Chains A and B, each alone.
Chain A
Amino acid sequence: MTFCFTGIRSFPKLWKSNPYLGLGPGHSYNSLFLKDCYGIRNQQKLFSLQTASPQNTKAINLPIVKARYHRKGSGTISSEFPHLFAAGAAKKRSQMNPQSKDHVSPPVSNIIQLPTKPLNSEQWDKLKEDFKGKANFENWIISQMARHNSSVDVAKSLLAWVATKNNGIVSYNLLVKYLYLCVFHKQTSEVFDVYEIMKARYKSLESGANTLLIRGLIHSDRWREALVLLEDIKKVMTPSKKNYNDCIQGALLHQDVNIAWNLYEDLLSHDLIPMMETLKAFFDLGKHIKDDQYSNKLLDILLYLRNNQLYPGESFAHSIKTWFESVPGEQWKGQFTTIQKSGQCLGCGKTIESIHLSPEEYEFLKRKVLRDVIDGGDQYRKTTPQELKRFQNFVKYCPPFDIVIDGLNVAKMFPKVRESQVLLGVVSQLAKQNLHVLVLGRKHMLNSRARWKKDEMEEVQKLASCFFADNISEDDPFLLYATLHSGHHCKFITKDLLRDHKACLPDAKTQRLFFKWQQGHQLAITSRFPGSKITFQHILSYDTVVQTTGDSWHIPYDEDLVERYSYEVPTKWLCLHRKT
């Protein structure tokens, strides 16, 4: 007993020791838990930051002669550096050069302490007197209560107080906030009551209250009324994916599979991307349903993930795994693995799909890049027709290149070294390997200046083919086109993530195609010190996408604790195969 007591006593410590809890309103037990993990994770990150930073600062501060000692070490650094498109890489990169620490403003101290137990009218009156603010007291206090998830009884006592003061009328705003608290605390009977009140008082409701009511009703026996509310929302606007998620969850909870699938179809027909929770719910229920039709629909969901390049979360991956393993008679075996650089699954040894585009896709992408990225409806915006013609002729009469270099991007890699010298270093190292290199640049690189030595540029031109665009033209589109024109084997070197050019492409499908091609063909230089042997980040040889060979499935998934940016791909996989 005493032990328990100390356990509870240590709660306040949590507030003190973990700054994250103080900041946001602790929404629920769950989110608190997550936030806690977040805190721990952040501390780990701080460690990695600390270990990395000494080398980093040395790289900046030390003159180059000293930096030579670190050359051996630089290889290992680059190998542990995550791939350009690997999940979490951008986060790491941003931590390598910590410039601006995002400062979170301290929480606004409340003027009034929120009551923890129901108050009577006199106490509310007194509290109102204490309140000094611009806002309406009732609105303000119930908002605060909703933010801090006060108990329903406290809110109820507030409403009772408001009602007695106001001839038994409680405003809509207060009702909705109260409904939120009821839904949050899963007080179903209260939700029913508020629903009745709203039905009696108002002819129609707005989307916020409808959403809350749907969420409140699905757990009860009156879940079918949630579907009516969904229809109400549809009259004016498309329901959100959360509305659909709630309704589907409700239907699945009450074993009405047909309604759930119909809602899912409806959701897709509105061009909404379903929430992962929705899909997970289908898989979770699938364990108990032994039905071929249902299984096929689940496989359709997996194909949907594939086609839209979506990745399940960690818990969803677990659900998929348990569902597969529960399929009777098929004896699936699932495991969480990673993929080797060669593209083989560590779990089963099968080779993952290649990153290379099919010939049709390749042609399609090439056409799109020429039409939308370079031309874009107005050839003068990025280049001029004359220049485009000159470039196309140039590419046509040159044999296919092996490597296309973004000259300016590469040359500006080390800010303290002369540009032309860096460029020459890279080009000569590549030329030694008998690679046919194309260097793209702008004309100003040729005008001899302090940073662009004429003799070094002449050397570059001897070792590689060069194309210099006008100073006001963009060179990246040329880079893309030259690489695409040369064929599958051709790679390009730049550190640029090319997001602005990807954005020029018209639809999501083409953008995904572009991203796939980019993953397979972009080389990024990882060398940290000028003069060292250049090392490239390895290119992924396999495509990170949900895939199947009939008797095996490979599903990449997002880890809960890794923040993945939209241009990165997960590194963890779920490998499922049938025992034979």
Chain B
Amino acid sequence: MVIEATEEFSFMTVFFKMSVSIAFIRPFARVLVPFTLNRKRSVFCSLILQRYMSSKIPPVPCPNKESTSPEQLELDGWKITMKSSVQEGVSTVLSTQDEDPLVATRELIEMWRLLGREVPEHISDEELKTIMECVSKSSKKKYLKFLYVKEKMKKAKQIKKEMKAAAKEKAKEDQLLETKENKQQNFLFLRLWDRNMDIAMGWKGVQAMQFGQPLVFDMAYDNYMKPKELRNTVSQLLESEGQNRRDVDPFHIHFCNLKTDGPLYGELIKRYGEKWDKLLLTATEKSHIDLFPKDSIVYLTADSPNVMTTFKHDKIYIVGAFVDKNIQPGISLAKAKRLNLATECFPLDKYLQWDTGTKNLTLDQVIRILLCLKNNGSWEEALKFVPRRKHTGYLEIPQYSQEFVNRVKKSKIIKPFQKGSLNIYTQKR
């Protein structure tokens, strides 16, 4: 390593010396650089020489005069056509329009698109206003990227739809030829599966409303969330409600602390539409501690020090309706602490070899796990709803035996150390 370093130093000195004498070789520079070298090297060499020369001798209009060849003359031809051709985009420019920041922004985005940046092709005035309201440059870029991805997805969907329609049309034509020969058949049922399913699920839901185990979504986090997180929360709530509806033995879902003038309520109404009033769940402005006895409540939070061992059918589990994108730890634990409630977290570390990602699961994953546990599923069964990317697999040794192994290991290590360190102590005194 020493040799290498000195070599480099010596190289540096050579380089400096060389630069002194470089004035002599300037005319030969091109010739000296061996063209047989591979591309990178030769580029690099000529680059340094070129730079050196251009910095040393300022009035050199063209650094490599010797390369003036007939084709050099053609090189500037394209400029004339470029200059003479008409402006792209809006040809007539009003000076008042130029002042308008909205128009300027639109033009900027258009130019960015030409540059191949991730910006949407079409943009509505409303979205443009949102962009103008973004505080920082990076937030603008983020929002533009969001719109870009959204537009792309929409386009892809549209294409898929058209392809499907075309395929359907074709299938229909084929079928038409066949059905002509088909005769009347005997069926037991009319094809009304979906409606029957809905009715059955409704029936089950009503039963759950009467006799089901309560499951509470605590909706008191709306002031901790940004609009985007709020929207995500509502999506997850919709997903979990759907999951619950389809289950054999659904929970009786409560939306507690749901303020009717809050943003969550507005978003839920918007997403559910007319169905909101016919949902088989309890939405209330009251808190969960007013509805249920305090000692039967268990607040589920990943920050909890207590690990859930079994699913208890007489407890009321509370899940915080909270998507936490900018990681503010301990908010739900603080809520439980304030009301003096019992807390629990899923035994993820006990059963899974955790890899990446937070231990916070989405609401629909939580409800799937709870439903599975409720229907007498084991933990292994239930925890298959944890995203596969977050863990590398199930642990083979249950935690208690592993703890035991650790303890044995530790005691073996510690014992000689205790002796040694005690020795030190006695010696010092």
Other-chain residue from B5, B7, B424 in contact with A531 (beta carbon distance below 8 A): B424
Q: Kindly state the separation between the CA atoms of A471 and B337 in the bound complex, as whole angstroms.
A: 13
Contacts of A202 in B (CB 8 A): 87-89, 111
Contact B77 A450 (CB under 8 A): no
Q: Which residue of B lies closest to A150 (CB)?
A: B43
Please report the C-alpha to C-alpha distance between residue A14 and residue B81 in the assembled complex, in whole angstroms: 44
Residues of B within 8 Å of A18, CB to CB, are 8
Point out the residues of chain B lying under 8 angstroms from A44, CB to CB: 5
Assess the B14–A7 pair: CB atoms within 8 A.
yes
Tell whether A151 is near chain B: CB-to-CB under 8 Å. Answer: yes
1/0 contact string of A147-166 vs chain B (CB within 8 Å):
01111010011011011100
Partner of A29, one of B8, B52, B114, B338: B52
Asked whether, in the complex, the Cβ of B85 is within 8 Å of the Cβ of A381, the reply is no
Interface flags for B64-94 (1: CB within 8 Å of A; 0: not) read: 1001010110111111111111011110010
Indicate if the CB atoms of B108 and A207 lie closer than 8 Å. Answer: yes
Q: Does A11 contact B (CB under 8 A)?
A: yes
- B112 x A160 contact (CB < 8 A): no
Taking a contact as CB atoms under 8 Å apart, the answer to whether A14 and B11 are in contact is yes
Contact with A along B386-418 (1 / 0, CB 8 A): 000000000000000000000100110110111
Instruction: Flag if A113 contacts B39 (CB, 8 Å).
Output: yes
Known: A26-B44, A114-B43, A160-B78. A63 touches B115 (CB 8 A): no
Cross-chain contact B39 with A116 (CB below 8 angstroms)? yes
**B417 with A208: CB separation less than 8 A:** no
- How many chain A residues touch B (CB < 8 A): the figure is 90
Of B39, B75, B330, B411, chain A has the most CB atoms within 10 Å of the CB of: B75
| Residues of the B chain whose Cβ atoms lie less than 8 Å from the Cβ of A3 | 17, 21
B39-58 interface mask toward A, CB cutoff 8 Å, 1 = contact, 0 = none? 11111111110111010000
* Contact status B414-A450, CB under 8 Å: yes
CA distance A164 to B428 in the complex (A): 89
Q: How far is the CB of A206 from chain B (nearest CB, A)?
A: 4
When chains A and B are docked, how far (Å) is the Cα of A244 from the Cα of B42?
A: 36
The complex places the Cα of A14 from the Cα of B25 at a distance, in Å, of: 21
Interchain CB contact under 8 A, B1 and A43: yes
Contact A163 B410 (CB under 8 A): no
Bound CA span A28–B338, Å: 61
Known contacts A64-B420, A185-B54: does B67 contact A172 (CB below 8 Å)?
no
A46–B4 CA distance with the chains assembled, in angstroms: 13
B87 touches A236 (CB 8 A): no
Chain B residues positioned under 8 Å from A156 (CB to CB)? 75-76
Give the complex CA separation of A340 and B80 in angstroms: 67
B357 at the interface (CB under 8 A from A): no
Contact stretch, chosen from A299-307, A416-424, A544-552: A416-424
Q: How far is the CB of A61 from chain B (nearest CB, A)?
A: 13
For residue B305, which residues in chain A have a CB less than 8 angstroms away from its CB? Answer: 471-472
Contact of A36 among B8, B45, B61 (CB under 8 A): B8
Measured between alpha carbons, how far is A384 from B335 in the docked complex, in Å? 11
B112 surroundings in chain A (CB, below 8 A): 206
- CB proximity of B44 to chain A, nearest CB, Å: 6
Bound Cα distance A352, B21 (Å): 49
A220 to B41, CA, bound (A): 32
Q: Are B21 and A163 in contact (CB under 8 A)?
A: no
Interface: B185 (CB within 8 A): no
Determine the chain B residues whose CB is within 8 A of the CB of A186 once the complex forms.
54
Q: List CB contacts (< 8 Å) of A1-45 with chain B.
A: 1, 3-5, 7-8, 10-15, 17-18, 26, 28-29, 32, 36, 39-40, 43-44
A242 to B45 alpha-carbon distance, docked (Å): 30
How distant is the Cα of A193 from the Cα of B75 in the complex, in angstroms?
13
List A residues 167-214 near B (Cβ within 8 Å).
Answer: 167-173, 176, 185-186, 189, 193, 196-197, 200-209
B140 an interface residue at 8 Å Cβ cutoff? yes
Knowing that A151-B46, A531-B421 touch, tell me 19 more A-B residue pairs with CB under 8 angstroms: A15-B44, A17-B8, A29-B52, A36-B12, A43-B5, A65-B420, A116-B43, A148-B43, A153-B67, A163-B78, A164-B78, A168-B82, A169-B82, A193-B79, A201-B88, A237-B140, A416-B417, A417-B417, A472-B305
Q: Would you list the 3 A-B pairs with minimal beta carbon distance, nearest first?
A: A168-B81, A163-B78, A206-B111
